[in-house]
């Protein structure tokens, strides 16, 4: 009986070990990714996220930095975890880009820049302000992680180069974004009614800027189905997916994957090296400004308590009352301080 007891115990231990091993394998198969949405105010970022997560409830207005958590079978596993951050308010809260970007998620991070095509006077400044802030944050993260995560800078640079490919004619000219960048132009249903020449300018400028960053570019409307799954799958898993022929016709919705365009095909500026690329960026901004004007979108309210992004009805009522009381008190104090000759 003793021998049988040992045998049963051994079988039990063996079963436990098998279970633990399977759990470890399952954890290894689980892919975690982080998606960071930035872009124009009220451009539809939350709606795109809801569509990606297959949520049917009505999106609520976003405030500052929102977080979503989801599980999607992006890579053939039901355990794929997706952390999603959304930066609201256009460029008003650009300092908050530091929160979603960490050394731990840098190699699985995808940035989705959402631009409102119906407001062309905000396109360039929105893109430039936000992408500059994110580049600076990534640079800081890499610098701070030199000791704790050796080789992180090399890994990020190698991954960026790999997205473009060794044979692309512009690989040494492009200022490749450190992490995968997807640019979505929303409200295409409104944009398509623009004057043909205006559409042509916007499309060529966005093509140029997207290609300069090594990004993909796609125009969408409310009726467009989920556009993220295949894009995220391609850049994170590095899978070879069937590539559709790029759509570069400005009379239709643009759809251009990473490294599927070239400065030669875009043709709007003569770009032959990195120096000419920087000159072309300035020329692109000037062309957009000359055609549509340029709205200053990076404006903070002087009083953060009056910031429309933080409306709270009950608190605002109390605040307004206190401000009135303060004004009355100041007026009374001024009267008391007046010299009798002033009366």
DSSP conformation letters of 85-118: EEE-STTTTGGGGGTT--TTTGGGEEEEEEEETT
Segment 219-244 shows an average pLDDT of 60
Lowest mean pLDDT among 49-58, 142-151, 165-174, 207-216: 49-58
| In contact, 49 and 84? CB cutoff 8 Å | yes
Lowest mean pLDDT among 72-81, 94-103, 150-159, 217-226: 72-81
User: Rounded CA gap, 217 and 239, in Å?
Assistant: 19
- Name the most confidently modeled range: 136-145, 218-227, 317-326: 136-145
The residues pairing with 35 across neighbouring beta strands, listed in sequence order, are 84, 110
Q: Is the pLDDT of residue 78 over 60?
A: no
| In contact, 159 and 108? CB cutoff 8 Å | no
Task: Count CB neighbours of 321 within 10 A.
Answer: 10
What's the pTM value of the predicted model, to 2 decimals? 0.76
**Per-residue pLDDT, 226:** 63
Q: Is the pLDDT of residue 74 over 60?
A: no
**Per-residue pLDDT, 296:** 78
Q: Indicate the pairing of strand 216-219 with strand 255-256.
A: antiparallel
Q: Decide which of 272 and 327 is more confident.
A: 272
Q: Decide which of 305 and 165 is more confident.
A: 165
**Per-residue pLDDT, 54:** 80
**Per-residue pLDDT, 221:** 84
Segment 277-304 shows an average pLDDT of 81
| In contact, 49 and 69? CB cutoff 8 Å | no
User: Rounded CA gap, 53 and 250, in Å?
Assistant: 30
Under 8 Å CB-to-CB from 261, ≥6 apart: which residues?
Answer: 207, 210, 211, 217, 246, 248
Q: Is the pLDDT of residue 117 over 80?
A: yes
Q: Decide which of 313 and 130 is more confident.
A: 130
Distances (CA, A) of 119 to 15, 42, 63, 303: 62, 11, 21, 26
Under 8 Å CB-to-CB from 26, ≥6 apart: which residues?
Answer: 79
Q: Which architecture characterizes domain 30-292 according to CATH? A: 3-Layer(aba) Sandwich (3.40)
Q: Is the pLDDT of residue 302 over 60?
A: no
DSSP-derived secondary structure letter, 247: B
User: Rounded CA gap, 297 and 303, in Å?
Assistant: 17
Segment 188-204 shows an average pLDDT of 94
**Per-residue pLDDT, 343:** 47
The residues pairing with 186 across neighbouring beta strands, listed in sequence order, are 116
Q: Is the pLDDT of residue 239 over 60?
A: no
Can you say whether the dihedral through the CA atoms of 295, 94, 88, 194 is positive or negative? positive
Segment 252-268 shows an average pLDDT of 91
**Per-residue pLDDT, 1:** 46
User: What percent of the chain is predicted at pLDDT more than 90?
Assistant: 44
3-state secondary structure of 183: strand
| In contact, 169 and 262? CB cutoff 8 Å | yes
**Per-residue pLDDT, 6:** 46
3-state secondary structure of 305: helix
The order of strands in the sheet holding 109-116 is 65-71, 81-87, 32-39, 109-116, 181-186, 216-219, 255-256
Q: Decide which of 239 and 132 is more confident.
A: 132
**Per-residue pLDDT, 28:** 53
Q: Decide which of 225 and 165 is more confident.
A: 165
**Per-residue pLDDT, 115:** 95
Give Cα 289 distance to the centre of its chain: 24
**Confidence bin at 241 (pLDDT 50/70/90):** very low
User: What percent of the chain is predicted at pLDDT more than 70?
Assistant: 71
Average pLDDT, the chain: 80
Q: Tokens for 258, please give them.
A: 């990473």
């Amino acid at each position: 009986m003793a021998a049988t007891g040992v045998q049963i115990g051994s079988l039990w231990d063996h079963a436990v070990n098998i279970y633990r091993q399977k759990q470890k394998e399952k954890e290894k198969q689980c892919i975690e990714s982080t998606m960071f949405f930035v872009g124009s105010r009220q451009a539809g970022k939350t709606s795109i996220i809801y569509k990606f997560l297959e949520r049917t409830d009505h999106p609520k207005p976003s405030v500052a930095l929102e977080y979503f958590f989801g599980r999607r079978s992006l890579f053939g596993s039901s355990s794929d975890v997706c952390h999603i951050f959304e930066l609201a308010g256009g460029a008003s809260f650009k300092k908050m880009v530091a929160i979603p970007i960490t050394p731990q998620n840098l190699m699985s991070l995808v940035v989705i820049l959402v631009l409102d095509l119906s407001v062309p006077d905000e396109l360039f400044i929105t893109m430039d302000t936000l992408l500059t802030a994110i580049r600076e944050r990534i640079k800081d993260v890499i610098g701070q992680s030199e000791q704790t995560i050796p080789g992180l800078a090399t890994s990020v640079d190698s991954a960026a180069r790999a997205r473009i490919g060794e044979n692309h004619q512009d690989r040494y000219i492009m200022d490749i974004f450190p992490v995968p960048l997807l640019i979505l132009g929303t409200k295409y249903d409104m944009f398509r009614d623009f004057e043909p020449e205006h559409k042509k300018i916007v499309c060529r400028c966005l093509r140029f800027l997207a290609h300069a960053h090594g990004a993909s570019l796609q125009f969408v409307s409310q009726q467009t189905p989920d556009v993220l799954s295949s894009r995220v799958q391609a850049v994170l898993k590095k899978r070879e997916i069937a590539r559709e022929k790029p759509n570069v016709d400005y009379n239709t919705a643009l759809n251009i994957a990473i490294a599927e365009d070239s400065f030669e095909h875009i043709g709007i500026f003569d770009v032959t090296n990195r120096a000419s690329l920087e000159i072309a960026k300035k020329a692109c901004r000037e062309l957009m400004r000359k055609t549509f004007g340029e709205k200053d979108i990076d404006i903070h309210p002087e009083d953060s308590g009056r910031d429309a992004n933080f409306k709270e009805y009950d608190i605002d009522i109390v605040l307004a009352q206190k401000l009135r009381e303060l004004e009355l008190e100041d007026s009374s104090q001024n009267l008391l301080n007046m010299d009798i000759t002033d009366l």
